[in-house]
């Protein structure tokens, strides 16, 4: 009888808390070289979508055509490869890809539409002048990012961070990008929806049926290959010949214009568009975007540490990563990329899908970025993948990052009304406020902040259009100020779980995952 009662009690025990997630390959370990190469190419495919989307949005508004679009993609790929290597070698050392950021789109569009650009009638000249203005603003913004990181300011933020406030930050780092998920998939639902269904089946159902952990690792490559081939068949069959131009652009495989526009070989070089120009209003708007990029990258870093099987990222390492993010934005500015750098959310989600959080795999993906950025024709073929297929992949990968954020609830007391309010309220406000700003902009042509200062308007629009940024502002403030006098508050927020990671040397595992090569740790603060 006692044994039966004991069995019932065990059956209803809660799941144990896990500081480190179980993975097939952690940050320090690596798969075999052939498998690592394919996984690296898969990470390249995933990050390429964001670069194509950013270039597709910005280049036409700046006066550029297919040639400028191809040059922009090559430049973004080139600096992304360098920045990814720097981040994995000298930054956080986490398996994160550093790519283009959506946060910089609003300031870049503001530059393109400014009255001083309208005087240039030649589209190519207007494109160059817009790029030079963006470069100048990015240069200053990169110094702000670097100072926040290398001077340890972001480490101070990290020391007062708790699992409770991490939940809305990481969750909305994934969920906040829903607008480039199913809405973009639906631009060509006949290829996007099958791609989504195939990916779910390959990654979630087939591995369970055949009891194998290999099929899901390459589910992205297989899914894109099948959906792309299907899109080629529909295009060749003339299915879209009489459809609207917007549908043809989304569905056809021969409408990107990149393959003919891209050169066979081209090496991006610093200040390729000319000397940067500076405008105070542009600079402040870019600084605001760089702060948003820091916040969103922080959410991605935390998710990547979870999916990489590492311990929680120490504040000093987080600050170090932000510092190198600033170096990345500096390189973007020098080489003439249209946006600053950020940690790629979808690649963090891919770590969860494959359960391979290897640093070496990410470095291999950086090699693919550099290769395809130089040999333009080859890169253009892959960049011509219809965006609805990419959006289908993002529906799964962003969901993984969101689930990583929800996973931090295990460290918190969910029977506490304080915890429930902070999580629920910050998630709701984090989604609701940016949606309000987006709808206002769509209906009125300008944001809710409509003063005589364009730079102020852009600053407000950039900050409050980011779900992750709004969520962490609310959650961090509430967690730091609500019921601080109660003895249970510290444990309810889960702070005691992360106490051992507040300084680098407090937990011996920190050096295993985040230690720099060649004993370079001595040049960076550990507290």
- pLDDT of 484: 81
Under the banding of pLDDT at 50, 70 and 90, the label for residue 522 is: confident
Alpha-carbon distances, residue 108 vs 62, 286, 452 (angstroms): 9, 8, 19
Looking at the DSSP bridge assignments, the partners of residue 142 are: none
pLDDT in tens, 257-270: 888 899 999 999 99
- pLDDT of 410: 95
CB 296 within 8 A of CB 468: yes
Highest-scoring range by mean pLDDT, 69-83, 107-121, 229-243? 69-83
- pLDDT of 527: 56
Q: Stretch 62-86: mean pLDDT, rounded?
A: 96
Residue 521 confidence (pLDDT) above 80: no
- pLDDT of 7: 52
Mean pLDDT of the chain: 92
- pLDDT of 212: 62
Sign of the torsion angle spanned by Cα atoms 426, 429, 432, 433: negative
Residue 346 confidence (pLDDT) above 60: yes
Distance CA 496, CA 515 (A): 23
Residue 13 confidence (pLDDT) above 70: yes
Which residue, among 339, 325, 345, has the nearest Cα to 149 in the 3D structure? 325
Residue 182 confidence (pLDDT) above 70: yes
Under the banding of pLDDT at 50, 70 and 90, the label for residue 103 is: very high
Distance CA 322, CA 343 (A): 10
Q: Extract the tokens encoding 387.
A: 């965006």
Residue 26 confidence (pLDDT) above 70: yes
pLDDT in tens, 466-514: 999 999 999 999 999 998 888 889 899 999 999 999 988 888 899 999 9
Which residue, among 77, 130, 524, 109, has the nearest Cα to 331 in the 3D structure? 77
pLDDT in tens, 381-393: 999 899 999 999 9
Q: Stretch 212-239: mean pLDDT, rounded?
A: 89
Share of the chain above pLDDT 90, in %: 79
Distance CA 136, CA 310 (A): 38
Under the banding of pLDDT at 50, 70 and 90, the label for residue 319 is: very high
Q: Stretch 19-37: mean pLDDT, rounded?
A: 93
- Tokens 């809660």 -> residue: 14
Residue 8 confidence (pLDDT) above 70: no
- pLDDT of 9: 55
- pLDDT of 518: 82
- pLDDT of 206: 87
Q: Extract the tokens encoding 22.
A: 């179980």
Who wins on pLDDT, 414 or 10?
Answer: 414
Sign of the torsion angle spanned by Cα atoms 298, 301, 307, 309: negative
- pLDDT of 246: 86
- pLDDT of 1: 44
Under the banding of pLDDT at 50, 70 and 90, the label for residue 211 is: low
Under the banding of pLDDT at 50, 70 and 90, the label for residue 254 is: confident
- Tokens 């101070």 -> residue: 156
Residue 243 confidence (pLDDT) above 70: yes
Q: Stretch 177-197: mean pLDDT, rounded?
A: 95
CB 54 within 8 A of CB 338: yes
**CB under 8 Å to 436, separation ≥6 — which residues?**
448
**Chain-centre distance for alpha carbon 106:** 17
Q: Stretch 347-371: mean pLDDT, rounded?
A: 97
356: helix, strand or coil = strand
What is the reported pTM? 0.94
99: helix, strand or coil = strand
- pLDDT of 213: 61
**Chain-centre distance for alpha carbon 12:** 38
Under the banding of pLDDT at 50, 70 and 90, the label for residue 197 is: very high
């Amino acid at each position: 009888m006692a044994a039966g009662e004991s069995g019932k009690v065990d059956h209803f025990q809660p799941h144990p808390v896990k500081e480190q997630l179980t993975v097939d390959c952690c940050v320090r370990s690596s798969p075999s070289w052939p498998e690592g190469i394919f996984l690296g190419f898969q990470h390249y495919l995933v990050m390429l979508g964001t670069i194509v989307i950013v270039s597709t949005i910005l280049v036409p508004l700046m006066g550029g055509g297919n040639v400028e679009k191809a040059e922009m993609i090559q430049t973004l790929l080139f600096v992304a490869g360098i920045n990814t290597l720097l981040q994995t070698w000298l930054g956080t050392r986490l398996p994160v890809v550093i790519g283009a950021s959506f946060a910089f789109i609003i300031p870049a569009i503001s530059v393109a539409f400014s009255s001083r650009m309208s005087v240039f009638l030649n589209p190519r000249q207007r494109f160059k002048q817009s790029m030079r203005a963006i470069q100048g603003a990015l240069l200053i913004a990169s110094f702000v990012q670097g100072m926040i990181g290398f001077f340890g300011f972001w480490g101070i933020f990290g020391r007062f961070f708790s699992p409770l406030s991490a939940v809305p930050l990481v969750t909305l780092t994934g969920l906040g990008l829903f607008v480039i998920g199913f809405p973009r998939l639906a631009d060509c639902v006949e290829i996007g929806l099958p791609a989504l269904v195939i990916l779910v089946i390959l990654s979630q159902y087939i591995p369970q049926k055949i009891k194998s952990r290999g099929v899901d690792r390459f589910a992205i490559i297989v899914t894109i290959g099948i959906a792309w081939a299907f899109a080629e068949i529909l295009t060749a069959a003339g299915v879209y010949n009489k459809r609207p131009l917007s549908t043809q652009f989304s569905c056809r495989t021969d409408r990107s214009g990149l393959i003919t526009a891209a050169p066979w070989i081209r090496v991006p070089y610093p200040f390729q568009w000319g000397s940067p120009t500076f405008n105070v209003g542009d600079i402040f708007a870019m600084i605001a975007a760089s702060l948003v990029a820091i916040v969103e990258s922080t959410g991605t870093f935390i998710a990547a540490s979870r999916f990489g099987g590492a311990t929680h990222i120490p504040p000093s390492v987080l600050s170090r990563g932000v510092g190198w993010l600033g170096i990345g934005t500096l390189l973007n500015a020098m080489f003439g990329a249209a946006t600053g750098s950020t940690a790629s959310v979808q690649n963090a989600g891919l770590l969860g899908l494959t359960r391979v959080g290897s640093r070496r795999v990410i470095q291999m993906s950086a090699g693919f970025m550099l290769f395809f950025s130089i040999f333009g024709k080859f890169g253009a073929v892959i960049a011509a993948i219809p965006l609805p297929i990419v959006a289908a992949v993002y529906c799964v990968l962003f969901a993984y990052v969101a689930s990583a954020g929800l996973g931090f609830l295990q460290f918190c007391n969910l029977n506490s009304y304080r915890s429930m309010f902070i999580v629920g309220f910050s998630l709701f406000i984090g989604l609701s406020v940016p949606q309000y700003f987006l709808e206002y902009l769509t209906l009125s042509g300008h944001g809710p902040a409509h003063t005589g200062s364009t730079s102020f308007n852009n600053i407000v629009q950039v900050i409050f259009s980011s779900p992750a940024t709004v969520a962490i502002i609310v959650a961090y403030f509430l967690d730091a100020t609500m019921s601080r006098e109660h003895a249970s508050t510290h444990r309810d927020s889960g702070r005691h779980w992360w106490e051992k990671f507040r300084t680098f040397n407090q937990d011996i595992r920190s050096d295993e995952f985040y230690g720099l090569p060649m004993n370079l740790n001595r040049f960076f603060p550990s507290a």
